[in-house]
């Protein structure tokens, strides 16, 4: 696995078309550095629950708070950082090799996830100790 650091995580501004009838957020072309192959969303997550708790070996993700708010705690094996997502015109780009946990969902929060790959269980690292082992030099 390529060495990825927290500095590789980026906030992406989603282009918005403003209109008196309502705004339109657009994710296309060069908005994100990968072709979207899977889209899913999380909703009705209890405030005390958390989601994520994994890293991807190869896949990248863009997380967007379509409604409400939630925290994303990212970890590169050495450092951790917390991002609060609470705007539908801002996304968090998470490269492969980063552990993530989503927590503190507000009532009505919806998290949209754009993924660079189709679901492949073999791309997931779901055990934190295994994740830490994968970050150690050979």
CATH of the domain at 129: 2.60.120.10
Residue of 10, 54, 57, 135 with catalytic role: 54
Whether 65 maps to a domain, the answer reads yes
Q: Let me know if residue 107 belongs to a domain.
A: yes
Does residue 83 belong to any structural domain of this protein? yes
Residues 9-34 have pLDDT tens digits of 999 999 999 999 999 999 988 899 99
Q: Is residue 34 part of a domain?
A: yes
- Classify residue 1: in a domain, yes or no: no
Report pLDDT for 1.
46
Host domain of residue 122: 6-135
Q: Does residue 20 fall inside a structural domain? A: yes
What are 75-131's pLDDT values in tens digits?
A: 999 999 999 999 999 999 999 999 999 999 999 999 999 999 999 999 999 999 999
In a domain, residue 44? The reply is yes
Q: What CA–CA distance (Å, rounded) separates 125 from 123?
A: 7
**Is residue 82, in this structure, part of any structural domain at all?**
yes
Statement: residue 2 has pLDDT above 60: no
Question: Would residue 104 show up in a list of annotated catalytic residues for this protein?
Answer: no
Q: What's the structural domain count of the chain? A: 1
- Listed in sequence order, the residues at least 6 apart from 2 whose beta carbon sits closer than 8 Å to its beta carbon are 96, 97
């Amino acid at each position: 696995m390529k060495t990825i650091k927290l500095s590789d995580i980026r906030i992406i501004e989603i282009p918005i078309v403003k209109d008196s009838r309502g705004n339109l957020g657009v994710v296309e072309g060069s908005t994100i550095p990968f072709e979207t192959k899977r889209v899913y969303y999380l909703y009705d997550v209890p405030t005390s629950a958390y989601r994520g708790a994994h890293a991807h070996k190869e896949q990248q993700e863009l997380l967007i708070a379509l409604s409400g708010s939630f925290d994303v705690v990212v970890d590169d094996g050495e450092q951790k950082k917390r991002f609060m997502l609470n705007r539908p015109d801002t996304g968090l780009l998470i490269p492969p090799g980063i552990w993530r946990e989503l927590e503190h969902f507000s009532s009505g929060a919806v998290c949209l996830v754009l993924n660079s790959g189709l679901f492949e269980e073999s791309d997931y690292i779901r055990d934190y100790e295994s994740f830490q082992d994968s970050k150690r030099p050979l």
